[in-house]
Amino acid sequence: MPINYLDDNCDLIGFAKNISNNCENDISVVKDNCKIICLMTIMKGLDECYFSLFNTGLLDNLKQIIKWCYYKKVEKEKES
């Protein structure tokens, strides 16, 4: 069975609209706030649009947001 490098369930326009609705327009604000709805939107987009995001160069940027927010959460727990 050949590997499918296209995302059958991916709606990049819908994903972009959801990012606009659920996250801030400024990426630094997204990283500072780490809103759950925004992180869930990113994770859903990563799941549905992995190859499309990879091909557009956005995959690494979105993964970095998830990593940053996880790092912030772990650091807060260590301080407590």
For the chain, where are the alpha helices, taking DSSP H only?
Answer: 12-22, 27-33, 36-48, 50-56, 59-79
- The label of the residue with tokens 């690494």 reads 60
pLDDT, tens digit, 9 for 90 and up, residues 34-53 = 888 999 999 999 999 998 89
pTM score, whole prediction: 0.78
Check if the beta carbon of residue 22 is closer than 8 Å to that of residue 38: yes
Alpha-carbon torsion, ordered 23, 67, 53, 1, to 10 deg:
-130
Instruction: Tell me which DSSP letter residue 26 carries.
Output: S
pLDDT at 77: 82
Whether 1 shows a pLDDT value over 50: the answer reads: no
